[in-house]
Amino acid sequence: MRFEDQRLLLVNELKREGIISPAVLDAIGKVPRENFVLQEYLDYAYQNRPLPIKEGQTISQPLMIAIMLQLLDLQPTDIVLEIGTGSGYQSALLAEIVQEVCTVERLETLSLNAQKVLRNAGYRNIHFRIGDGHSGWQKAYPPHKEFDKIIVSAAAQEVPKRLVEQLKLNGKMAIPIGGGGFQILYIVTKTEAGLDIAEAGGCSFVPFVCDDKLLR
């Protein structure tokens, strides 16, 4: 079966699972996931499951990505900070929906590979930083100080303070929190009264690794 047909089947499956955002469904129907998986997993590119990528990391389950993007209520004018570039698949989905994506990856080989794939695909609204995600978009170009939305694709022990500082007032952050192989996805909204933190179901992500220098 052609990848295009498999992509349509995946979109229909996500609809049955409760994804109703036209923007999210359109992006998933447009972005070729086969370009972001390892060669040996091409036959599984459109199965609704996470897949291994380089450096012991994973490309997330399409449903999990779709849930996070839908809960963030992404807008065409949004500038989004993504923590965990990975293969670049989620970056591409974001770039189809929002104005600008700033993505951070601590593993240089993953970032450079994602940059190559995404630039070859023609994306010009994605910016990259190689470094620790806990510090967000510090010392990076373009010099954004705050973001409308933040999406974290790794499991943290708590909501990182520096990411909260870079979230705009009334902005939203999607972040999995917890240890082991199972966490809870939270949607964090920054309000004038503080943080509004809402549970959004169970999930499973790789750990959010912190540079020891940030703890000193």
Kindly give the pairing relationship between strand 100-105 and strand 183-191. Answer: unpaired
Q: Choose, from 60, 87, 91, 153, the residue flagged as catalytic.
A: 60
60 in active site = yes
Q: In what order do the strands lie in the sheet with 79-83?
A: 126-130, 100-105, 79-83, 147-152, 167-177, 183-191, 194-203
Q: How far is CA 34 from the centre of its chain?
A: 17
What DSSP element (H or E) covers 184? strand 183-191
CA 114, CA 118: separation in Å to the nearest integer? 6
Amino acid type, 127: H
CA 54, CA 56: separation in Å to the nearest integer? 6
CA 96, CA 92: separation in Å to the nearest integer? 6
Amino acid type, 200: A
| 182 CB-side CA count, 13 A | 2
Tell which residue, 206, 214, 202, 201, has the closest CA to residue 161: 214
Active-site amino acid positions = 60
